[in-house]
């Protein structure tokens, strides 16, 4: 027959198992444990096997991996009084578990709220064109401000990215009109530059032809020849008043 185990022994074994379960903690490689003894901070432990004194010591787990924080859409009024809807994403991680637990009540919520207010503050100081064209610089500015303010919490802001900048439909149409006007302006500038260069070339050609009257008359005859080659039925051209002088000059040259 099997020996009968007294109930007192069973109770003792069960109590020991409960104490061991309450005393043993296992932390993964990316986790750390902030330990408090009778309410006072006594150290950061982990990873691996951690043994605590039940009822006297408590431990708070902290994840050291990079956390992706999705910043909710914020209503921002730009420096030039344009209302836009902006959302972003923030990448951060805990580098000092002691500060992250002791210096702030909930470091995740605190970082989220700080990111929202910083996003509105930074973007509100810039015009709409800067938001659309200089997004990288704005990302860097927001990251720098957040990293400086969360340093006391033991948190490192590794990256900030503005995801979307949404405009009202009326503003989209206004921007489209502005872009079209800008394209027309550039086309006119290019056209005017071309006309300016052409006029300079014509002026230089006139100066060359003006050095010899016969050259002007020859150019005139060439123009008449070009007109006559056209497939029109009627050609109207002016007759120069000094054409007789030109013909006399040509006759003298033949002599």
CATH value at residue 154: 3.30.479.30
Residue among 59, 81, 84, 62 at smallest CA distance from 73: 84
Is a pLDDT exceeding 90 seen at residue 121? yes
Whole-Å CA distances, 112 to 1, 45, 91, 155, 249: 66, 27, 11, 12, 94
Q: Which two tokens stand for residue 143?
A: 């990251």
> Residues 241, 215: one domain?
yes
Is residue 1 situated within a structural domain?
A: no
Kindly state the average pLDDT of the residues 89-111.
Answer: 95
pLDDT in tens, 24-72: 999 999 999 999 999 999 999 989 999 999 889 999 999 999 999 999 9
Mean pLDDT is lowest, of 92-96, 114-118, 138-142, 169-173, for: 169-173
> Residues 132, 83: one domain?
yes
> Residues 180, 242: one domain?
yes
Residue 203 has what pLDDT?
Answer: 73
Where in the sequence is the domain holding 80, given as residue range(s)? 67-167
Is a pLDDT exceeding 80 seen at residue 117? yes
> Residues 72, 161: one domain?
yes
Q: What's the pTM value of the predicted model, to 2 decimals? A: 0.66
Taking the C-alpha atoms of residue 136 and residue 210, their distance in angstroms, rounded to an integer, is 60
Domain boundary among 123, 152, 167: 167
DSSP per position, 153-191: GTEEEEEEEEEEEEE-HHHHHHHHHHHHHHHHHHHHHHH
> Residues 75, 129: one domain?
yes
Q: Looking at the 3D structure of the chain, how many domains does it have? A: 3
pLDDT over 70, % of the chain: 73
Residue 12 has what pLDDT?
Answer: 82
97 vs 242: which has the higher pLDDT:
97
> Residues 107, 58: one domain?
no
- pLDDT confidence of 80, banded at 50, 70, 90? confident
Domain boundary among 145, 167, 189: 167
The helix (run of H) or strand (run of E) holding residue 14 is helix 7-23
Phi-psi group of 81: left, alpha or beta (phi > 0 → left; psi -120 to 50 → alpha; rest → beta)? left
Residue among 47, 77, 59, 67 at smallest CA distance from 22: 59
Q: What is the CA radius of gyration of the chain?
A: 43
Domain boundary among 138, 167, 196: 167
> Residues 147, 71: one domain?
yes
> Residues 85, 37: one domain?
no
> Residues 243, 193: one domain?
yes
Kindly state the average pLDDT of the residues 123-147.
Answer: 91
> Residues 90, 154: one domain?
yes
pLDDT in tens, 147-185: 999 999 999 999 999 998 888 776 656 666 666 677 777
- pLDDT confidence of 13, banded at 50, 70, 90? confident
């Amino acid at each position: 027959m099997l020996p009968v185990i007294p109930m007192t022994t069973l109770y003792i074994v069960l109590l020991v198992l409960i104490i061991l379960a309450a005393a043993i903690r296992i932390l993964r490689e990316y986790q750390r444990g902030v330990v408090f003894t009778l309410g006072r901070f006594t150290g950061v432990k982990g990873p691996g096997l951690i043994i605590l004194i039940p009822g006297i010591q408590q431990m708070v787990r902290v994840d050291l991996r990079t956390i992706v924080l999705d910043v909710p859409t914020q209503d921002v009024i730009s420096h030039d009084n344009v209302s836009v809807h902006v959302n972003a994403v923030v990448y951060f991680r805990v580098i000092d578990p002691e500060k992250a637990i002791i210096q702030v009540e909930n470091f995740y919520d605190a970082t989220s709220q700080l990111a929202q207010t910083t996003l509105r503050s930074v973007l509100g100081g810039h015009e709409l064109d800067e938001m659309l064209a200089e997004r990288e610089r704005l990302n860097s500015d927001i990251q720098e401000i957040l990293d400086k303010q969360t340093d006391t919490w033991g948190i490192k802001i590794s990256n900030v990215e503005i995801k979307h900048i949404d405009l009202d439909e009326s503003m989209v149409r206004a921007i489209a009109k502005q872009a079209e006007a800008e394209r027309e302006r550039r086309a006119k500038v290019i056209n005017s530059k071309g006309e300016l260069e052409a006029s300079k070339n014509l002026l230089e050609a006139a100066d060359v032809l003006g050095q010899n009257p016969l050259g002007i008359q020859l150019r005139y005859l060439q123009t008449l020849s070009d007109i006559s080659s056209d497939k029109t039925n009627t050609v109207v051209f002016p007759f120069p008043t000094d054409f007789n002088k030109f013909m006399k000059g040509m006759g003298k040259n033949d002599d």
